[in-house]
Amino acid sequence: MVSAGIAVKESPVRLGMCSYTLRTMTRAQVIAAMKQLKLTRLNCKDVKDHLPSTSVEEEKAALADYAANGIDVTAVGTVYFKDPKDFRKNFEYAKTAGVKVIVAGDPTPENLPAIEKLVKEFDIKFAIHNHGPEDKVWPSPLTVLEAVKNMDPRMGSCMDIGHTMRAGTDVVAAIRKVGPRLFDMHAKDLAKPDAKDSQVAVGEGIMPIPEIFKTLIAIGYKGNVDLEYEIFPDNPMPGVVESFAYMKGVLAGMGYKA
């Protein structure tokens, strides 16, 4: 708790939502959930009608809905980069959305130079999402860093902290190491460090959220911390509410208004 009389500063840690968390909900329900949570930042995915990628008109209609409700689409993704013929289309999708970050899944190291050219052309950051030990190419943000460290500075990481922990990587140390190439963060919590099926609401597990937030502030992180709560897809809101209450409580204890 913050003592009475102490000024509360705006939080440098910007909390947001991955729309994948609400993947069984319609766009209207996502908007209602964001209002309930008093959130304005949304990492939007092409799931249900959240942010369609098959039609520019449908994408623009979704963006208009979000804007009318005070919701800022801050990133798109996860967008998958498996087929080179889709790469430009993916960047056009992000450009239409008006975002500066693509959260990207499954690019091959061999395709990174072609993607780097599009990053330079569109001036959109490319944040590779790590997926833990099952992902033999991008298990950890440190794997991502090794691949992009000599590329354009807009080539970087979306660190999924749950998958990072399961890969055996120290999350806090990884934040420091990835540093300016950390463009987005997907937040979750685990009851066991190596068990994917042990996900719990943030604050109920072993993830060092206070240290993560302190480290993000220390490195001057400018991206968002987007909740990606992947369990109970048909009824996510109880865990979502609990997760944001905990994260906001941590920030309040640091003297910040979330």
Q: How far is CA 62 from CA 31, 42, 73, 153, 205, in A?
A: 11, 12, 10, 30, 35
Q: Is residue 176 in a domain?
A: yes
Q: Is residue 127 in a domain?
A: yes
137 neighbors 105 (Cβ within 8 angstroms)? no
State the CB neighbour count (10 A cutoff) for residue 34. 21
pLDDT of residue 6: 54
Q: Which residues contact 113 (CB under 8 A, 6 or more apart)?
A: none
Reference 94, options 155, 53, 50; nearest CA is 53
Domain with residue 155: its CATH number is 3.20.20.150
- Residue 75, H or E segment: strand 72-80
Q: Is residue 3 in a domain?
A: no
Where in 81-181 does DSSP place strands (E)?
A: 101-105, 125-129, 155-160
Q: Is residue 8 in a domain?
A: no
Ordered per-residue pLDDT tens for the chain, 258 residues: 444 445 579 999 999 999 999 999 999 999 999 999 999 999 999 999 999 999 999 999 999 999 999 999 999 999 999 999 999 999 999 999 999 999 999 999 999 999 999 999 999 999 999 999 999 999 999 999 999 999 999 999 999 999 999 999 999 999 999 999 999 999 999 999 999 999 999 999 999 999 999 999 999 999 999 999 999 999 999 999 999 999 999 999 999 987
Where in 202-253 does DSSP place strands (E)?
A: 224-227
Tell me which residue range forms the domain holding 22: 13-257
Peptide bond into 164 cis (omega under 30): no
| Structural domains of the chain, count | 1
**DSSP code for 185:** E
Q: Which residues contact 214 (CB under 8 A, 6 or more apart)?
A: 254
